[in-house]
Amino acid sequence: MSSDITKDTWDAYCAKELRVLGPILQKLGYVLDTEQPHITGERYLMEAATNGRKLILLGRRMKDGIRVVIKTTPDPEGMRGLEHERDCRRILQKINFAYQIFLSPEELLFVKKGKRLIAIQRFIEQESTFIARPLKEQFALSLKAFKAQEAAHATTYGHKRLISRTFGFMDGRDYLDNFDKFVKNIERELPEESQLQRLLKKAKSFLLDNRETIEKYNGFLTHTDFVPHNFRVKGHDIYLLDHSSLRFGNKYEGWARFVNWMALYNPPLAEALIAYVGLNRTPEESLSLKLMRIYRLGEIIWYYTSTLKKCSGNLHLLNQERVRLWTNVLEAVLNNTEVSMEILDDYRQKRDVLRGEDEKIRQKDLH
């Protein structure tokens, strides 16, 4: 299936998959939940951003009733994605320079049934969502997670050979080339957005001027989608749910994604993390965080720009608002300021009105 899937074709695909999967899973000793929040709402728009097509489903093991997460796909690219994720998980625990072990949910099954790959992991129950925890605890948990990622630094010839077989590796040039693509794509799709074009040009030139700083902090393990829906917290432990987004790149790429996300969902946490880097690390590292925030903002603006032609109605309006919001955040980062509460509140109000009911349900326990 192509990446320009519509909501209708995605729903039809999911319904067909669920019909086929039920009996297969039953034979394996698992049963699907009636409600499947992870395939509803805006999930279909994320197809282009994921490694092949796959469904993420919730279910239970029949013999003892434990909750499980089932990832499954008949798509060859999706299968490669699941196998890659599994490799990342295994290699991560083997590499001798990863001084700290990342916690992963227990794998219960990884099996090919006919032309379909099924991966089942234990569902990690958490006392409360990350975002519902006290601010101080959120800060401590996120800092612990970033320190654990940074502890793996691929510095020598041997390290680079070992990791390049499994994880991706981004150098300074790759970041600049990617950003250039974001800028060109956005220019092509939204030629009338002159303020955005101006900001993107300024951002590109800022990245180019500081390419050595981007390069300097490269070679660190970083989770490029480290946001609360990709990890769960149990006690004081953080379990990574998505290992396919791990790669070796700039030390602050994971931080940047998280801080940008928190700029909307929990600005005091974003500010605390930026302050921590400023107070405890070198000025070059604060600059590296800023550069990576700009890079990731270019990426997210392009992501929402690319969805505009795939959606209609309220979702189209919402994604236009998202392009505007992240443009405002980009402007704030470039000017070393914070995005105003008025802009954030205005976006949140519009989002809550425009967001579909099924997406509200999908979002409910995501963070």
Partner 1 sequence: MKIVLATPLYPPEIMEPAPYSKEVAKRLSLENEVTIVAYAHLPETISGVRILTIEKHQPRFIRLFSYFVTLLRTAHAGDVIYAVNGISVELPVALVALVTRRPLVFYIGDMAAHERTKRDPILRLIESFAFSCAKKIVTEAPLARPEILPFEPHPEKAFEAYEASWNSHLRHLIHVFNHVI
Three-state secondary-structure class, residue 321? helix
* 341 CB-near residues (< 8 Å, 6+ apart): 267
Instruction: List the structure tokens of 29.
Output: 């000793």
Among 31-39, 275-283, 300-308, 346-354, the segment contacting partner 1 (CB under 8 A): 275-283
Q: Is 158 in the site for partner 1 (CB under 8 A)?
A: yes
Q: Is 8 in the site for partner 1 (CB under 8 A)?
A: no
Minimum CB distance to partner 1, residue 214 (Å): 10
Q: Is 198 in the site for partner 1 (CB under 8 A)?
A: no
Residues 243-262 that bind partner 1 (CB under 8 A): 251
Q: Is 146 in the site for partner 1 (CB under 8 A)?
A: no
Write b or e for each residue in 11-50: b if 16 or more Cβ atoms lie within 10 A of its Cβ, otherwise e: eebbeebeeebeeebeebebebeeebbbbbbbbbbebeeb
Nearer to partner 1, 160 or 198 (CB): 160
Q: Is 272 in the site for partner 1 (CB under 8 A)?
A: yes
Minimum CB distance to partner 1, residue 139 (Å): 6
Q: Is 340 in the site for partner 1 (CB under 8 A)?
A: no
Instruction: List the structure tokens of 30.
Output: 């698992």
Among 15-23, 131-139, 179-187, 295-303, the segment contacting partner 1 (CB under 8 A): 131-139
Radius of gyration for the chain, computed over Cα atoms and rounded to the nearest angstrom: 21
Q: Is 275 in the site for partner 1 (CB under 8 A)?
A: yes
Secondary structure letter of residue 98 according to DSSP: -
Write b or e for each residue in 288-326: b if 16 or more Cβ atoms lie within 10 A of its Cβ, otherwise e: bbbbbbbbbbbbbbbbbbbbbebbeeebeebbbbbbbbb
Q: Is 156 in the site for partner 1 (CB under 8 A)?
A: yes
Angle between helices 283-307 and 313-334 (to 10 degrees): 160
Q: DSSP readout, 193-232?
A: -HHHHHHHHHHHHHHHHTHHHHHHT-SEEEETT-SGGGEE
Q: Select from 284, 345, 352, 365 the one that contacts partner 1 (CB under 8 A).
A: 284
Q: Is 215 in the site for partner 1 (CB under 8 A)?
A: yes
Q: Is 236 in the site for partner 1 (CB under 8 A)?
A: no
Q: Dihedral of the CA atoms 10, 14, 20, 21 (nearest 10)? A: 140
Q: Are 56 and 39 in contact (CB under 8 A)?
A: yes
Nearer to partner 1, 279 or 341 (CB): 279
Q: Select from 219, 228, 249, 298 the one that contacts partner 1 (CB under 8 A).
A: 219
Among 34-42, 52-60, 146-154, 180-188, the segment contacting partner 1 (CB under 8 A): 146-154
Minimum CB distance to partner 1, residue 288 (Å): 9
Minimum CB distance to partner 1, residue 173 (Å): 14
Residues written for the chain: 367
* 132 CB-near residues (< 8 Å, 6+ apart): none
Q: Select from 153, 223, 247, 362 the one that contacts partner 1 (CB under 8 A).
A: 153
Q: Select from 135, 234, 312, 348 the one that contacts partner 1 (CB under 8 A).
A: 135
- Of 222, 87, 90, nearest in space to 152 by CA: 222
Q: Is 265 in the site for partner 1 (CB under 8 A)?
A: no
Q: Is 151 in the site for partner 1 (CB under 8 A)?
A: yes
Residues 41-100 that bind partner 1 (CB under 8 A): 99
Q: Select from 67, 90, 136, 184 the one that contacts partner 1 (CB under 8 A).
A: 136
Q: Are 214 and 288 in contact (CB under 8 A)?
A: yes
Interface with partner 1 (CB under 8 A):
99, 135-136, 139, 150-151, 153, 155-158, 160, 212, 215-217, 219, 251, 272, 275-276, 279-280, 282, 284-285
